[in-house]
A and B are shown apart, each in its own frame.
Chain A
């Protein structure tokens, strides 16, 4: 019983010690020490999570810790599920981060920005290794772990904002080196605070009507709310949480912030912070508001489907390695939202077992996504660190120079494409099963929505395969297309160890998902209430068993059979051959035109071209051909400039008009403020009069 508070206190203490150490300790010892303490924070948090997943509950209140509201904490299995994920990822990424920030070379060499002079400090002083960033890192890690622990609105919002600010500061770590970081920071700051405003409004409305701001009071008071207020609260809160999860249309911060953040921070944000959006949605929608009506969840389903397909399409178009991986987060969170939405829909129709199945699929996909996404970002970070390049059109040939990193990226990519030996397949299989079997829930809306959801999941899986074939095949295989890619060297051991820890997690999730069944079952029933069944047991298999349906899959056997068959298929021809012959090396087919150069190879852009043409109407690419003729004749071409970009269309259509309108309003409002004190006093007077009039007549 007492394990949870001890571990929580340990995590908090280690986090504080880490921040303090970063400020005090000189830079040589700073990075390893802070890294070790952050890893400790993660381990302690994971311990809390695992304890909670075994069925232990814990709650506490400290009325005097936070002004006005006090602090309320509670840990249940749902919180434990997210804490375990966050803790495990934090530990692995902290190890990775030590290697990353410690011997940091002058990557992204930008002599035009800052000439390396005698006054330039040594490695690890700017960027993520700087004193400020290192002080924020353990606190950010701590906030990631503590958000699910909060059990009152004010505690939750304080921790939520601490997490947002911590991540913002870390995103901005490289702001001196690249101006793009600053732009990304502004977008992220605005979007996350827009989310905070929505959350604040929603929860304030909720708490005012429910008569208390602790989660227990909200849970008890939810039924007294009128349906309209409940719906409004849900819409406000769901918009904020899906924005944090990176779902369309409030996703625009994600493809900007992730590529520009230091790589360990990208890994932390994409693998743990986006999850908390899902956590918030599940906690509020299921637990606090107690389910709700079908249209709420149809909305969530629609957002999820849109995010899944739009995110993966943008990922398939991206030629920036980190942007591709970032957009894939949008896709996977979309899939999770499909699961959450379907679960809510089933629950609203009263089919609890089906709802539990869909939610289990969603939560399992959350952990799978965290594992492979952190791994992908770590591997991508190693590439960026070694080459200074993010552009897939210039990378290539890394499998020979960075074999470990290439292998780790391949493992992550296999998880991301939802094909059998990968871990993503396991949860997508469960998601598809829950959708396919959901048809027994009555209702025309269900009958229309579920087939479409299945089609969207399938389409996003197909395009994800194309996107990751592109990332792996163009970025890591073939030959280097740039001398920086040709001169790449393998990442330092600590980075490989950190990524290797994540790889172990990916393999465990892929091969033995049954190990996580106990915890998953408890987390699901913590969210949806008792599901009416016996406790699930662990094992090597994955199965669905409802009243009249059943399906089974055994990932372990699939892996074993595939390995055996591959070895057999590779070995048999050699045995059958009459003579043993050694492999002979030969030139590539060059059509008789001389050895092909790396410039002739397909690039990421050319790889994505057919898909872009197919989805022309959705993506609306911009193309620009500029032909300069020779001076003497208009028929002889001197220079041709071709430019094409695939902009984020939602951003184009939705955000730019709003931004332009705000800009225009701001310009117009300038006339109101002409510097005259009399006028300002007049405004104050008029405002007061209007207020008093309103008070006397209206209320």
Chain B
């Protein structure tokens, strides 16, 4: 029992460090100009690419349904139109309602800076903790739910109530998947997980990796409010979840809310692709690698989005009270992933 005790060095629980230093958490932390460029590119590609991705999904869907579709650029046109309109404050709403859209976008931007979408070697990579990213995304949900309640209408409350219920049930799945992914890497630091998987692709093909991927995919669908959990294009009060919360928004605020939702989808699909298909992500500070990563990122996310759009054509939205069953299933997958990961990694050694 006492065999492996005190010889292990520990800097107890809390360690020091001046906040700016780029530390090493699995990856080499010599990020120069390329690192900063990578962070900026990640933010930019999520902000600018999100409407395009939504347009792409709508286009795929339209073609599969035999329609012509409005074109990939349509969401950008919508955003431009909304931004030009005047800001409208519904009577009786307060600061929470006004701040929520910006906060939603902000949480996604910060998360986009942290997640290694393009490069694992950035100035912020040592702080890119998976739990922090998950919590940042949850913060956006939290802010939007409060805004929904702030309107004081039945719709707002209904949407907030449903959204928080689903968010609460998704949380265990996400954190258990995080757990499963962090076992082989020995850390919850995303760049370390990603670069570890890139160097050792067998991790991804292992049962643990596949199970975690499946569990996380369901969680991502629930978090972004896609079919079968929520239907982003419905405005029927019986079925609305996300749309009900944001019903009172108009003009630039609505533009931010929609952009935020699109960015979340892009970010989470990007996170999935980084975790489970980490190829071509830049692991060193070279411009060429960054350019390749950018192209690869676009391709991976477009493929994922096309698959999701195709699935949405085939599936129907499930009833609200059937959603917990779906999430319980994904939770089970995540639990199996942890168990598999534990036993396949030599039982804790």
Q: Verify A514–B14 contact, CB threshold 8 A.
A: yes
Residues of chain A with a CB closer than 8 A to B157's CB:
473-474, 478, 601-603, 606-607
What CA separation (Å) do A463 and B167 show in the bound complex? Answer: 8
Residues of chain B with a CB closer than 8 A to A458's CB:
171-172, 174-176
B200 at the interface (CB under 8 A from A): no
Q: Verify B167–A541 contact, CB threshold 8 A.
A: no
What CA separation (Å) do A551 and B7 show in the bound complex? Answer: 20
Residues of chain A with a CB closer than 8 A to B151's CB:
478, 588
Least Cβ–Cβ distance between B174 and chain A, in angstroms: 7
**B175 touches which of A432, A524, A540 (Cβ 8 Å):** A432
B301 at the interface (CB under 8 A from A): no
A589 at the interface (CB under 8 A from B): yes
Q: Verify B12–A584 contact, CB threshold 8 A.
A: no
Q: Verify B102–A536 contact, CB threshold 8 A.
A: no
Q: Verify A547–B135 contact, CB threshold 8 A.
A: no
Q: Verify A541–B142 contact, CB threshold 8 A.
A: no
Least Cβ–Cβ distance between B25 and chain A, in angstroms: 5
Q: Verify A353–B113 contact, CB threshold 8 A.
A: no
Q: Verify A474–B16 contact, CB threshold 8 A.
A: no
Residues of chain B with a CB closer than 8 A to A455's CB:
172, 175-176, 331, 335
A672 at the interface (CB under 8 A from B): no
**Contacts of B154-185 to chain A: CB distance below 8 A:** 154-158, 160-162, 164-165, 167-172, 174-176, 178-179, 182-183
A290 at the interface (CB under 8 A from B): no
Residues of chain B with a CB closer than 8 A to A418's CB:
135
By beta carbon, the residue of chain B nearest A312 is B168
Q: Verify A350–B168 contact, CB threshold 8 A.
A: no
A460-491 vs B, Cβ < 8 Å mask (1 yes, 0 no): 01110110011011100111000000000000
**B168 touches which of A361, A462, A566 (Cβ 8 Å):** A462
By beta carbon, the residue of chain B nearest A537 is B16
B146 at the interface (CB under 8 A from A): yes
By beta carbon, the residue of chain A nearest B112 is A565
By beta carbon, the residue of chain A nearest B107 is A562
A341-377 vs B, Cβ < 8 Å mask (1 yes, 0 no): 0000000111111001100110010000000000000
B312 at the interface (CB under 8 A from A): no
B202 at the interface (CB under 8 A from A): no
B145 at the interface (CB under 8 A from A): yes
Residues of chain B with a CB closer than 8 A to A417's CB:
142
A446 at the interface (CB under 8 A from B): yes
Least Cβ–Cβ distance between B176 and chain A, in angstroms: 6
Q: Verify A465–B9 contact, CB threshold 8 A.
A: no
Q: Which of A432, A436, A442, A544 has the most CB of B within 10 A?
A: A436
B8 at the interface (CB under 8 A from A): yes
A600-B153 contact given A419-B135, A536-B15, CB 8 Å threshold: yes
Residues of chain A with a CB closer than 8 A to B106's CB:
562, 565-566, 568-569
**A551 touches which of B189, B255, B343 (Cβ 8 Å):** B189
Q: Verify B158–A602 contact, CB threshold 8 A.
A: yes
Least Cβ–Cβ distance between A585 and chain B, in angstroms: 5
**Contacts of A357-399 to chain B: CB distance below 8 A:** 357, 360-361, 364, 396-397, 399
What CA separation (Å) do A596 and B155 show in the bound complex? Answer: 11
What CA separation (Å) do A478 and B105 show in the bound complex? Answer: 23
Q: Verify B99–A566 contact, CB threshold 8 A.
A: yes
Q: Verify B13–A583 contact, CB threshold 8 A.
A: no
What CA separation (Å) do A433 and B148 show in the bound complex? Answer: 33
B338 at the interface (CB under 8 A from A): yes
B32 at the interface (CB under 8 A from A): no
A557-B19 contact given A357-B13, A473-B146, A581-B86, CB 8 Å threshold: yes
Q: Verify A399–B14 contact, CB threshold 8 A.
A: no
A153 at the interface (CB under 8 A from B): no
What CA separation (Å) do A400 and B152 show in the bound complex? Answer: 13
A553-B129 contact given A432-B175, A436-B188, CB 8 Å threshold: yes
A565-B105 contact given A420-B136, A588-B151, CB 8 Å threshold: yes
Residues of chain A with a CB closer than 8 A to B15's CB:
517, 536-537, 539, 541-545, 552
Q: How many residues of B contact A (CB 8 A)?
A: 108
What CA separation (Å) do A541 and B20 show in the bound complex? Answer: 10
B320 at the interface (CB under 8 A from A): yes
Q: Verify B132–A429 contact, CB threshold 8 A.
A: yes
Residues of chain B with a CB closer than 8 A to A568's CB:
106, 109
Q: Verify B127–A584 contact, CB threshold 8 A.
A: no
A516 at the interface (CB under 8 A from B): yes
Least Cβ–Cβ distance between A278 and chain B, in angstroms: 16
**A533 touches which of B1, B12, B26, B91 (Cβ 8 Å):** B12
What CA separation (Å) do A104 and B222 show in the bound complex? Answer: 49
Q: Verify A566–B348 contact, CB threshold 8 A.
A: no
Q: Verify A552–B89 contact, CB threshold 8 A.
A: no
**Contacts of B1-30 to chain A: CB distance below 8 A:** 1-19, 23, 25-26
A546 at the interface (CB under 8 A from B): yes
What CA separation (Å) do A550 and B24 show in the bound complex? Answer: 9
A532-B136 contact given A569-B102, A602-B161, A610-B320, CB 8 Å threshold: no
A165 at the interface (CB under 8 A from B): no
B230 at the interface (CB under 8 A from A): no
Residues of chain B with a CB closer than 8 A to A541's CB:
15-17, 19
A622 at the interface (CB under 8 A from B): no
Given contacts A455-B175, A547-B10, 9 further A-B contacts (CB under 8 A): A350-B3, A421-B139, A451-B335, A455-B172, A459-B168, A477-B96, A531-B12, A536-B16, A600-B153
Offer 28 A-B interface pairs, CB within 8 angstroms, sorted by A.
A360-B14, A397-B152, A400-B94, A429-B129, A429-B131, A439-B342, A447-B339, A447-B343, A455-B172, A457-B175, A458-B174, A459-B172, A465-B168, A470-B164, A473-B160, A532-B5, A536-B11, A536-B14, A541-B19, A545-B15, A552-B127, A553-B132, A566-B102, A566-B105, A569-B103, A577-B84, A583-B87, A601-B154
By Cβ-Cβ distance, the 10 closest A-B pairs, closest first, are A602-B157, A473-B149, A462-B168, A360-B13, A478-B152, A462-B171, A517-B14, A565-B106, A539-B16, A537-B16
Q: Which residues of A approach B to under 8 Å, CB–CB? A: 348-353, 356-357, 360-361, 364, 396-397, 399-400, 417-421, 425, 429-430, 432-433, 436-437, 439-443, 446-447, 451, 454-459, 461-463, 465-466, 469-470, 472-474, 477-479, 513-514, 516-517, 520-521, 524-525, 530-534, 536-554, 556-558, 561-562, 565-570, 573-574, 576-578, 581-589, 596, 598, 600-603, 606-611, 613-614
